Structure 1
Amino acid sequence: MSNVPDQKRMKQDCENKRECLEILQLILDGEASTEQKNHFLKEHLEECMPCYKNYHLEVAIRELLKTKCTNHAPQDLVDDIRKKIIQNLAR
């Protein structure tokens, strides 16, 4: 049995794009409540094609980054980025 929902029955547009993106990020960062996670993954994704696609794309990107980005960034790059962030915050 496949985990892919019936795409013909799914909404092709999401009325709550911003909220769904925020919930998606919370879930993927491990910061969503059990209720948020259950509702989004078990109910919303079954009926909303844009969110279904976004979720699977984000999971794939994160998995790719985990496997490909095993080396640490050079310290001078980290220092340079930190310096630029501090400069931008001071403005």
Structure 2
Amino acid sequence: MNSPDLSKMKQDCSNSKECLEMLQMILDGEATTQQKEHFLKEHLEQCMPCYKNYHLEVAIRELLKTKCTSHAPQELVDNIRKQVSQKLAS
């Protein structure tokens, strides 16, 4: 993914729920190649909220991988995701 021109990115996402679902599918390895390419190469380069969400989610997942000796319980992951989403929405 290229570094987008942050000054030209839209500041609101009209499809935030769908984008968050797509982001989860991509990071969970459930998205098709076409879905992944479109979202990462086109949408993220134009949408600041989704760009931030993507990088935040990647950072959270990397942190959990390094801090947990085994997979984090799904309940913990869901709780963290819920709290992050609430903070981003406010």
1:34 to partner: Cα distance: 0.7
Flag as ranges the 4+ runs of structure 1 deviating above 2 A.
none
Alignment of 1:1-91 (within 5 A): 3-71=2-70
For each residue in 1:34-87, what CA deviation from the matched residue of structure 2 results, as whole angstroms up to 9, or x when unmatched? 1110000000000000000000000000000000001578xxxx8xx9xxxxxx
Which runs of 5 or more residues in structure 2 are unaligned? Answer: 76-90
CA contact (8 A) 2:10 2:46 kept: yes
Identity of aligned residues (%): 78
Q: Which amino acid is the alignment partner of residue 45 of structure 1?
A: L
Cα separation, 2, equivalents of 1:60 and 1:49:
16
Residues in 2 aligned to 1:21 and 1:32: alpha-carbon distance in whole angstroms:
12
Where does structure 1 lack aligned partners over 5 or more consecutive residues? 82-91
- Match of 1:24, SS? helix
Q: Distance in 1 between matches of 2:71 and 2:28?
A: 20
CA drift at 1:4: 2.3
* CA-based RMSD: 2.0
Q: Secondary structure at the match of 1:55?
A: helix
Q: Distance between the aligned counterparts of 2:39 and 2:71, measured in 1?
A: 33
Which letter maps to 2:40? L
- Distance in 1 between the 2:45 and 2:63 partners? 25
Give the letter for the 1:25 counterpart. Answer: Q
